[in-house]
Chains A and B, each alone.
Chain A
């Protein structure tokens, strides 16, 4: 039996570890240069990054993850810097270093992770506005800060963690602007206490920032990122209604996570709308089992964070073994399921404590660019939606306006386009559908495809009977 795993973050590597331990041949296909995904992104070669100073309590998990990967690396078919751009029956189409290839498998585990969930506001495309997760990745991999005077904006527990990390590495933290009121965090406390240690740690980050004199605002409305050739400041409204402006030279911006689900789509998995996260997610059973030989794990399946990702990776690998009739040893599955249930409850709490402010999209100024790839504005979308026989579904909206048709394939505008459509039609969000994934799931140069075809043709020729 041969299993292909796409993604080498906590979910992918946990799955590879279990399968390798049971004698299964595993290919791990990773877009990164070395395993880690985003959460455990490893410092670049030669960079003297003080991991303990940067990661604090998370440093032990980081080290343990990389120790596991280093132990596995020679025992698996590890393919770094390799993009899976398409899937067909039992075959993944890949590109590595400009060369196209295919990886065959009998069973597939998708552990594709997540990106930041963002929403458009005026100025969000200015140089210097980066995603919150991206700001952390830049620091972990390159020891670089996104700017000198950095504001952390949006709504996410990571706002506080990232601000703390940036402060430790020498950045001036101009402000943390959290769009969810503090009362919502109190209200979510019962669910957040399902993971008491993480909850207390998060509160600790907030009080540490406060003690350091960092200005923290809860319940704000972000009005605009402003600047000429790059971001120079932020305008926001306080909960009482007063508008304020602060100066900064960089913004780390995010509202929780958005699952990377394009490959799940190509694999033919059924999607279901998840009201907690307001996004469509691949449908799987509690062990990550989807239709016919495909399994999902980690944040690409359900947003849950690094620990939940590792647990679901392990459980998905066990599901693979179960389905193949291979006895499982050395995995405490029932304890893992209990821990996962607690983390799911915690995650529901986070979704309320750090809410997605859909009303910001509903009230977006017509001139604001929603699709940053194709330059499609909120006004363009509204005009199209309100036309006679206008689109009531996001894929039709995409076909008409090009919103979501650009290089990112709607990763960063898709949710906003759906919210805008639903609001204008006075329909529930799930009624306007979701942008379908298309191959190639990320841009591939035409020259690469041709080179791959030429290589495959040459291979076919040499293997043809004389």
Chain B
């Protein structure tokens, strides 16, 4: 799948491996979760109150439209959270989470 964002400056920090909905994706140390996911995917998450997919909006920690789930049932704001090797990111709520 082609990503939405383009890395215009060649990343030269170490590669990290993350999971997006179970699929392994390569990202780079120092990148935000938002960059890591949107460089590989079209969107970050499904909106809670509609069928819309969302990919963040303000990119500066204000709109809160980029919160994604992690497999451990925690949530992170993708634009201000740094990606960590092995991060298990979900674009929807974890299985069994009451919605």
Q: Which residues of chain A have a CB within 8 Å of any CB of chain B?
A: 31, 38, 44-49, 81, 115-116, 125-131, 133-135, 137-139, 141-148, 169-171, 229-230, 249-250, 260, 369, 372-375, 406-408, 411-412, 442-443, 445
Contact = CB atoms under 8 A, between A and B. Distances in A.
A248 to B, nearest CB: 12
Given A44-B30, A127-B53, A443-B67, A38 B7 contact: no
B80 to A, nearest CB: 7
B42 A372 contact: no
Contacts of A146: 4-5
A134 B57 CA distance: 8
A280 B43 CA distance: 34
Contacts of B23: none
Nearest to B63: A408
A131 B57 contact: yes
Contacts of B7: 142-144
Contacts of B53: 127, 229-230
Contact of B59 (A46, A137, A249): A137
Given A127-B43, A230-B42, A407-B67, A145 B5 contact: yes
Contact of B55 (A135, A148, A230, A260): A230
Interface of B: 4-13, 29-32, 35, 39, 42-44, 47-50, 52-65, 67, 74-75, 77, 80
Which 10 A-B pairs rank lowest in CB-CB distance, beginning with the nearest?
A143-B9, A134-B59, A127-B55, A407-B64, A375-B49, A46-B13, A145-B6, A127-B43, A169-B8, A44-B30
A170 B8 contact: yes
A125 B56 CA distance: 9
A138 B5 contact: yes
Given A148-B6, A250-B4, A375-B49, A130 B61 contact: no
A355 to B, nearest CB: 22
Contacts of A443: 64, 67, 77
A171 B5 CA distance: 11
A374 B65 CA distance: 11
Contacts of A445: 74-75
Nearest to B55: A127
B6 A147 contact: yes
Contacts of A147: 4-6
A129 B11 contact: no
A39 to B, nearest CB: 11
Given A146-B5, A171-B6, A48 B80 contact: no
Contacts of A125: 47, 52, 54, 57
A109 to B, nearest CB: 20
A115 B54 contact: no
A245 to B, nearest CB: 21
Given A375-B49, A375-B50, A443-B67, 13 more contacts: A45-B13, A125-B57, A127-B4, A130-B59, A135-B59, A138-B59, A144-B5, A144-B7, A144-B39, A147-B6, A229-B43, A407-B65, A411-B63
A372 B65 contact: yes
A47 B32 CA distance: 13
A125 B53 CA distance: 9
A120 to B, nearest CB: 11
B16 to A, nearest CB: 12
Contacts of B49: 374-375
Contacts of B31: 44, 142
